[in-house]
Amino acid sequence: MDDSFDKLKAFKVGGVDYITKPFQIEEVLARLKAQLILQNQQRILQAEIARRKEIEDVLYQSRVLLSGVLNSALDGIAAMQAVRESSTGNIKDFRCLVVNPIIEKILEKNREEIIGKLLLKRFLATHNMLNLFDQFVAIVESGDPLDGDVYYASGDSCWFHYVAVKLGDGFAITVRDITVRKQMEIALQEANQKLELLANLDVLTQIANRRRFNDYLAQEWQQHQREQNSLALILIDIDYFKRYNDCYGHQGGDDCLIRVAQAIAKVPRRPTDLVARYGGEEFAVILRNTDIEGALIVANGIQTAIAELAISHENSEVSDLITLSIGIASMTPSIETSIEDLIMYADQSLYEAKKQGRNRAIVHKPYISDIVST
């Protein structure tokens, strides 16, 4: 039937095509074939729609999961995309793609001020960290990861550890606040330095102790042996110090040792010269790159400094003031000689100074020179 009413009725009850009689078989087959193709394409389209919906669901769940991870992470996380020069292809800056709340807090900016913006190079330049920009470029170009510590004041935090890895044509970076750990490390280093200082310091006189003297002399001996330069040693003894203690008491003796030590320590001018308490009332001075004449000048200065202190010593047999006996030796270290030789020569000179009447400086033979304090 070919009335319009009949055709509409047929389509309303679910028909997809309408053939009127009389018909040709070829036409029927062609129309059926076309419908089968349409049905098959529709099934394929529905399957593709279902697959895409499934992918979208997975992507949505992934985004939700990623967002949850980013927002709940205790570390700062950001992703950067390289922005290249059109003419050379070189990276000129990075565009921020992703940041989490920790990064927002560190930078003290909200997400809208960061996402999609070219901020990195200017930010690094502003905070004197522009050298990091070249290192971030190297991550993208070479694929090698980067990590390190950086100082950046942000609220109560100032030290951060970062790890950056290549991500497409850009990089991802995680940032961790290590301020507390860094402060503990710095405090520990300072404590260790203080302990080392205390270990090498004489508690009473506040100059180097015998341990520091031994270590420094060994170090300088090796260096002077390599360089073939003269190394001088001065040994000093306070004259009749036992009698001073007996007369003025141990507290008076301690005060005397402190004043003498501080006066001796001020005479050598070079930071490489070492003044140490050798033991009891004895002191030692190590003079780098110094021959016997230079050592004599220092010894003379020490004698003058002690004389200017004018510390009374009623029981001394050489003066009514504190005086010193000084032994001096200088030599160029060699394979045939040793540290013990230098100490022995200085000690022999000190013994000779005492033997000759104290209150004087004597040089180790074969040097025939002496300084007699006035």
pLDDT, tens digit, 9 for 90 and up, residues 18-40:
787 888 899 899 989 999 999 99
Judge whether 91 lies within some domain. Answer: yes
Average pLDDT, the chain: 90
H helices of 95-159, in order, are 101-107, 120-126, 131-142
Helix, strand, coil proportions of the chain in percent (round to 5)? Answer: 50, 25, 30
Note whether 97 and 215 are same-domain residues.
no
- Catalytic annotation, pick one of 227, 281, 314, 317: 281
Evaluate whether 196 touches 211 at the Cβ level (below 8 Å).
Answer: no
pLDDT at 373 over 80: no
Q: Which domain holds residue 26?
A: 4-58
pLDDT at 355: 94
pLDDT at 140 over 90: yes
User: Between vectors from CA 173 to CA 167 and to CA 179, what angle results, nearest 5°?
Assistant: 170
Q: Any idea which of 68-72, 106-110, 221-225 has the lowest mean pLDDT?
A: 68-72
Tens digits of residue pLDDT in 259-290: 999 999 999 989 999 999 999 999 999 999 99
Note whether 160 and 228 are same-domain residues.
no
Note whether 315 and 229 are same-domain residues.
yes
Tens digits of residue pLDDT in 161-173: 999 999 999 999 9
pTM of structure: 0.55
pLDDT at 369: 42
Judge whether 361 lies within some domain. Answer: yes
Evaluate whether 287 touches 273 at the Cβ level (below 8 Å).
Answer: yes
User: What average pLDDT does range 225-248 have in this prediction?
Assistant: 95
Q: How far apart are the first and last CA of the chain?
A: 148
Judge whether 140 lies within some domain. Answer: yes
When pLDDT is cut at 50, 70 and 90, the band that residue 366 belongs to is: low
Close Cβ partners of 254 (under 8 Å, ≥ 6 residues apart)? 204
User: What average pLDDT does range 2-25 have in this prediction?
Assistant: 80
The tally of domains found in the chain comes to: 3
Q: Any idea which of 54-63, 69-78, 251-260 has the lowest mean pLDDT?
A: 54-63
pLDDT at 136: 95
Give the containing element (helix H, strand E) for 361.
strand 360-363
Q: Is 281 a catalytic residue?
A: yes
Residue with tokens 């016997």: 292
Note whether 166 and 240 are same-domain residues.
no
When pLDDT is cut at 50, 70 and 90, the band that residue 374 belongs to is: very low
In the numeric block, which tokens belong to residue 81? 């995309």
